[in-house]
Amino acid sequence: MEVAEFGTLDSFQYDQGRLNEPLTTNLLLDIASGLDALHKCNIIHGDVKSENVLICRHKHRKYVAKLSDFGLSIINPDPEALHKLIGGTWLWEAPEIETRMSVQGLKQTDLFSLGLLIWRVLTNKFMPYETLGQDIVNRYWSPDQKSFILSVKQDSEFCGIVLHSLRYSGIDEWAKSFGIAILPHSLGHDPKSRCLQKILGEMQNPRRGIPQR
CATH of the domain at 50: 1.10.510.10
Overall number of domains in the chain: 1
In a domain, 207, yes or no: no
| 10 in Cβ contact with 51 (< 8 Å) | yes
In a domain, 189, yes or no: yes
Residue 95 DSSP code: T
The set of catalytic residues is: 47
Domain range for 98 is 9-73+82-201
Contacts of 51 (CB under 8 A, 6+ apart): 8, 9, 10, 69, 89
In a domain, 87, yes or no: yes
- Which of these, 119, 108, 114, lies nearest to 44 by C-alpha position? 108
Taking the chain (213 residues) in runs of 10, the rounded mean pLDDT of each run is: 90 91 94 98 97 93 94 95 93 95 97 98 94 93 93 96 90 93 96 97 74 49
Quick one: pLDDT at residue 2? Answer: 79
Quick one: pLDDT at residue 74? Answer: 96
In a domain, 167, yes or no: yes
In a domain, 208, yes or no: no
In a domain, 209, yes or no: no
pTM: 0.94
Quick one: pLDDT at residue 65? Answer: 97
- Compute the distance between CA of residue 145 and CA of residue 210 in angstroms, rounded to an integer: 37
In a domain, 146, yes or no: yes
- Which of these, 31, 45, 105, 32, lies nearest to 74 by C-alpha position? 45
Quick one: pLDDT at residue 61? Answer: 86
In a domain, 52, yes or no: yes
